[in-house]
Amino acid sequence: MGSRARIGRRGLLKMSLAAGVVPGGLFAEKSEGAMRIACRFADQMFHIGLAQTPVGEALMAQLPLDLTIEDYGSNEKIAYLPQKLSGAVSEPFGNEAPGDFCYFAPWGNLVFFYEGYHYSRGLIRLGRIEGGIAPLLLRGSFPLRISSA
């Protein structure tokens, strides 16, 4: 019997995140007619696949948006919306991972996670960054343009 390397769930998740793919496929594949947004700041450009939820649709209705993206803590970037999103109901979720795109209802801001995090009350997952988290690793505060893709 030859020796084969075994990859655990954590290893598979890390490899998937590096490749910009999410196990389970919730936001992993682009589908025709799916809600997608384009984000641009500094020299960074990336897309986000949104779940078709009332909160995702409320965000789409506000586009295009010119905001400021800034570092917050050691695992996320945030951007404050000009008005809170309607239909924002926070329900606990699991499977938290870098690349998650969320809305924090109490403060009315968007959250772009680039490191691990845990669900907290008021957080609503909207979607996933497509293609990996590399654009979010640029530190600082920048003008951010969000538009439909």
Domain CATH number, residue 79: 2.40.100.20
Q: Does residue 44 belong to any structural domain of this protein?
A: yes
87 DSSP 8-state letter: T
Alpha-carbon dihedral of residues 112, 136, 115, 65, nearest 10 degrees?
Answer: 0
12 pLDDT more than 70: no
5 pLDDT more than 80: no
pLDDT score of 46: 97
Percentage, residues of the chain above pLDDT 70: 78
The closest alpha carbon to 51, from 16, 101, 87, belongs to 101
Percentage, residues of the chain above pLDDT 90: 74
CA distance 40 to 112: 13
pLDDT score of 89: 86
The distance of Cα 117 from the centroid of its chain, to the nearest Å, equals 12
Q: Does residue 3 belong to any structural domain of this protein?
A: no
DSSP labels, 23-50 = TT-TTTS--TT-EEEEEEETTEEEEEEE
Q: Region 109-123: what's the mean pLDDT? A: 97
28 pLDDT more than 90: no
Q: What is the mean pLDDT of the chain?
A: 84
For residue range 53-107, list pLDDT tens digits in order: 999 999 999 999 999 999 999 999 999 999 999 888 889 999 999 999 999 999 9
pLDDT score of 149: 94
Q: Does residue 87 belong to any structural domain of this protein?
A: yes
pLDDT score of 33: 52
Report the predicted TM-score, pTM, of the whole model to 2 decimal places.
Answer: 0.78
Q: Does residue 2 belong to any structural domain of this protein?
A: no
Q: Does residue 1 belong to any structural domain of this protein?
A: no
| Overall number of domains in the chain | 1
Q: Region 6-20: what's the mean pLDDT? A: 43
23 pLDDT more than 60: no
Q: Does residue 4 belong to any structural domain of this protein?
A: no
